[in-house]
Structure 1
Amino acid sequence: MSADPRKPVLVIGLGRFGSAVAATLERMGHEVLGADADAEIVRDHKDALTQIVEADCTEIETLRRLGAAEFDTAIVAIGTNVEASLLAVLALVDLGLPNIWAKATSERHGRILERTGAQHVVFPEQKMGERVAHLVNERLLDFISFDGEFAIARLRAPEPIIGLPLVTSQCRKKFDVTVVGVKRTGEDFIHAVPDTIIMPEDELVVSGRIDRIEAFSALCAS
């Protein structure tokens, strides 16, 4: 989520997703105002965030009183109440915020959020489900997808390229993946170059189409 570090970010909805986003933004150096209509949630997070308020952010007048119009970026992290998430986005649009992110719980919810005016819609549960599915076979050590077709993954070095420099193994030509970096025990990740020789215990960071990465990881020795 891109946000100007010199300006504050408004986070509406402090459930697991919203509170995690808010806390991470604060650690990154952003000034964050967290808001939730549930008094108990606000009490639970009062020590985790520098600024937190109990407020019904589906009302435009409430948002005005909070100074929401002065924010460039707002994140609507309301998940369970679809109507509330839509009303909050609509109110932010009416206030003229240029950078609105919203959490969606379904494709239909996401489409409505976009039509309401959210510039960025995220599906955290869906993305996490996809990530777990790709990791469960234990061939992939980490996995991040982009646009549903491409990904960056961390995996153990497959048997066919062990002992070879990358220029010889020709991963891009033979397997249609790009080896971006290499991690060795006790060492930092290094940027992969054509002369990099892959060792048996190496972990690789690779990029490419998801199906190609899955096929590449399947070459790992059992």
Structure 2
Amino acid sequence: MVIGLGRFGGSVARELAGRGSEVLGIDSDPRIVQDYADDLTHTAVANTTDEDAMRQLGVADFQHAVVGIGTDLESSILTTSLLVDFQIRDIWAKAVSRRHGRILQRIGVHHVVLPEYEMGERVAHLVTGRMLDYLEFENDYALVKILAPAETVGRTLSDSGLRGRYGVTVVAIKRPDKDFTHAAPDTVIGRDDILIVAGTREAVEGFTDRV
């Protein structure tokens, strides 16, 4: 179930449907709902802050819910609180600010998404040119995609000693024109290889700053 079919919610709904999931899309705007009618399994126009309306839609039977309501904070909070009351097992909700996100967490949302903040942090890490991609998880743990540093070329991962020197672990490697594969201690790094490196945010930032 995806509630709020704006840019964020609509993208999530279409992607889920494209991956074969049955998706109920709900929005208060009939025109928006009509736009998604052919793409989703089911669509509905509803006031998602109305408990009776939500019950009639069978919301309590869903295991996963995504709330894409952002700018209308009251609707976002009231809608998510209803989903918590319905004991939905897995609730994802968009927040437009860190304060909004904290409120959603206190209500009982399992996963809070801050698209603008997260994209801003990601871009900030990429503009230096050292990282090809950056993904941060909770507890300051991150994955980065980086071109193989010169100091590792022609050496095995074990010989390069990246974990001991930088506190990072190479978890995957991509050869030119090949798919990503798991990295092993005896993997030899080539000049044009791309590495996926994991570690704490501080460790991976320190690593990419030095190489």
Which of the five TM-score ranges fits, normalised by the shorter chain?
A: over 0.9
Matched, 1:136 2:130: no
The answer on whether the counterparts of 1:158 and 1:216 sit within 8 Å (CA) in structure 2 is: no
Matched, 1:24 2:15: yes
1:77 deviates by: 1.1
Q: 1:94 to 1:176 in 2, by over 3 A?
A: closer
Matched, 1:119 2:121: no
1:112 deviates by: 1.5
The answer on whether the counterparts of 1:104 and 1:121 sit within 8 Å (CA) in structure 2 is: yes
Q: State how many pairs are aligned.
A: 211
**One-letter code aligned to 2:166:** F
Aligned-partner Cα distance in 2 for 1:160–1:219: 11
Matched, 1:199 2:164: no
> Cα deviations across residues 90-117 of structure 1 (Å, max 9, x unaligned)?
2223333232221111121112112223
Q: How does 1:183-222 map to 2 (within 5 A)?
A: 183-220=174-211
1:138 deviates by: 1.8
Q: 2:93 aligns with which of 95, 102, 116?
A: 102
Matched, 1:36 2:27: yes
Q: 1:155 to 1:56 in 2, by over 3 A?
A: same
Q: 2:46 aligns with which of 44, 51, 55?
A: 55
Give aligned-pair identity as a percent: 48
1:148 deviates by: 5.3
Matched, 1:90 2:90: no
Matched, 1:173 2:181: no
Q: TM-score, normalised by structure 2?
A: 0.93
State the match for 2:65 in structure 1: 74
Secondary structure at 1:140 match in 2: coil
Secondary structure at 1:151 match in 2: strand
> Cα deviations across residues 147-184 of structure 1 (Å, max 9, x unaligned)?
25211111001111111111111110011110111111
Unaligned runs of 5+ in 2: none
Unaligned runs of 5+ in 1: 1-9
Q: TM-score, normalised by structure 1?
A: 0.89
1:130 deviates by: 0.9
The answer on whether the counterparts of 1:22 and 1:34 sit within 8 Å (CA) in structure 2 is: yes
1:84 deviates by: 0.4
Q: 2:36 aligns with which of 45, 48, 58?
A: 45
Q: 1:15 to 1:203 in 2, by over 3 A?
A: same
The answer on whether the counterparts of 2:22 and 2:40 sit within 8 Å (CA) in structure 1 is: no
Aligned-partner Cα distance in 1 for 2:102–2:179: 42
**4+ runs of 1 displaced by more than 3 Å?**
none
The answer on whether the counterparts of 2:2 and 2:26 sit within 8 Å (CA) in structure 1 is: yes
The answer on whether the counterparts of 2:95 and 2:101 sit within 8 Å (CA) in structure 1 is: yes
